[in-house]
A and B are shown apart, each in its own frame.
Chain A
Amino acid sequence: MEAIRNGFMAVVLAITTTMTVGSGSARAESLGWPEKEELTFGFIKLTDMAPIAIAYEKGYFEDEGLYVTIEAQANWKVLLDGVIDGRLDGAHMLAGQPLAATIGFGTEAHIITPFSMDLNGNGITVSNAVWDAMKPHVPKRADGKPEHPISAAALKPVVEQYRAEGKPFNMGMVFPVSTHNYELRYWLAAGGIHPGYYAPHKGDISGQLQAEALLSVTPPPQMPATLEAGTIYGYCVGEPWNQQAVFKGIGVPVITDYEIWKNNPEKVFGITAEFAEKYPNTTLRLTRALIRAAMWLDENDNANRPEAVQILSQSQYVGADAEVIANSMTGTFEYEKGDRREVPDFNVFFRYFATYPYYSDAVWYLTQMRRWGQIDEDRPDSWYREVAEKVYRPDLYAAAAKSLVDEGLADAADFPEFGTEDGYREPQSEFIDGVTYDGTQPNAYIDSFPIGLKTGDRL
């Protein structure tokens, strides 16, 4: 108790000092004053909201003349509606949310993102009973511990057994257009389990057509409780809710998204297109603050992570126990109780150009929406490119990053070469099923999966 309190006071002190020191403002004129100074940002209690908390606690928002209130939201739907109706000025969003909103799957609104928040950071957890059943099918290493990554092929016999007994195999994910939904589907499909299709043109948005595993929505913080209650047998969620299951002894994380797709893009910071147009200086400045926060989080080989953990464990942010958050934030991940492994890149906030909003990341999410039927008919490759360009705004990011470099607050080497960058990553092949992804060829990519809708398919 005393230790926690002292730690808390130390954090407070450290923050106050950095804030008073770092309030130079000579740069203000060149950037233009913010048009809107009082902002409210929403977030969901997940460790990947860290850039927002850090930008606040380290005074980066205030350095930009922005007075930001940070509010936890009950679920992703409430958060998105908040941004659309203006109750929130911006929010920590699932990468699929701005895309889906812009193309009109779900609530339609033009949302853009000038800043990608992180890479990786999710995991898939199954209940203890399911783990016991799938364990015999998992290959072992010499030391007797399971060989990673664990394929969903080990889960397939368990799902079949449940189905044979007439029990639906329910799993939780956090939102229909969430990274978690696509990652869980990717993993299941790669192991031969059909996660089901959406058919919005027929009014079916349950995503369970032809499904062997039935996926449904549960808000992240409620995942462990829902698993414990037996409503679902497994889930895919961000941290700390996988590690929470280990601590509570109610489930076993079987795989992280890092192993499903190495360095996959995760959350983004979403604002409305209208906001960016109406308040260009504010948009630029908030992007600058977020970039600085991301830099701080990854600085000196994650040296600041323990402090970040203390901040995130405060009740107004993530609020889980510091040791639970620390488990993943400091580069380790605990699978089965006691099976703690190094995953240094489990949470990446800045390195590998993590915060740059690549068009190819947007296109990947769109291909998955098509694969599972959320986009119900074929679209030409050019359409994918257009949507990505409408939603992802590397131009805003570049302007913010350049101004930071000019002021000596950032190093140009930490950013992509803005002059030549076209926004498409080189083809990536580090997926669990070995399929190569090339963002410039979305339709060819969609056709390369054994499970999933292909060109010409319509339910």
Chain B
Amino acid sequence: MSFTKVILGTVSALAMTAVAAIADPAIIYDLGGKFDKSFNEAASNGAAKWAKETGGKFREIELTSEAQREQALRRLAENGNNPVVMTGFAFASALDKVAPDYPDTKFVIIDMVVNQPNVSSVVFKEHEGSYLVGVAAAKASKTGTVGFIGGMDIPLIRKFACGYVQGVKATNPNAKVIQNMTGTTPAAWNDPVKGGELAKAQISQGADVIYAAAGGTGVGVLQAAADAGIYSIGVDSNQNYLHPGSVLTSMMKRVDVAVYKAFKAGADVKPGIQVLGLANGGIDYALDENNAKIFTADIKAAVDAAKADIIAGKIKVHDYMSDNSCPVE
């Protein structure tokens, strides 16, 4: 097996892929991996839904190292995949570098804004959804104390916390909100043990509804809440099914919808910034048979009223990331 043979073989293989290149969409998952029960998995579900509906094919790739971000982007673009969707803000600098080299390829980045003529940036109004679950938490709480457990301490998660506190305070101005962040490193997204400990600490301080915005860490929070017989609130995906009767509701960030829409638009994805919020169904709260009993008509009425007011613009929920501060504590 000589080296020249290797080269010849690869050249011919490359030539073949160049011919076979079709504008299939593609998705790159972040280092957390495809099956993280949260953000990346939601994206994967959106892609799967598109494939099921259209019968189309798509390429997906998981990363194992930072250097592969750029490598994967270039490979997909050179392979003719269009659009190329990526989940997570960590892709921003790699995309900013790669996008100008492939002007005919459309890139879609979720959770971050990248200003390039062929990039569509999808961001969510998480503060609106967090406000709604804050209203629900205040309504459901008997002690007047509710909790928030975030994942990694970054502005994005503070945005969740700030919206939540606003919703709680708007419903019950005397309510107390206990806030904790799990950590300051990406490991904080996947530390269910610590999540459970934080939840127990909050419960001992009187919290009887806890909102977990912490990726995989939230699984531990929800478990601790179920064990203690109090309510919890899930995040990103609909997590009501995890502990029926304990998970009050879930703040749904429809990453799946974003991916689905991008795949459906194909190469005609519009560049620029897309904001998904309550008004266009990109953000919502979850109501299904698992929480129908505990999510009472009283709570539902209050939450739906707040939802209508936010959509109508009557309630303005402050976005933490607009000025890196929160008006309420």
Q: Do A and B bind each other?
A: no
Chain B residues within 8 Å of A, Cβ to Cβ: none
Chain A residues within 8 Å of B, Cβ to Cβ: none
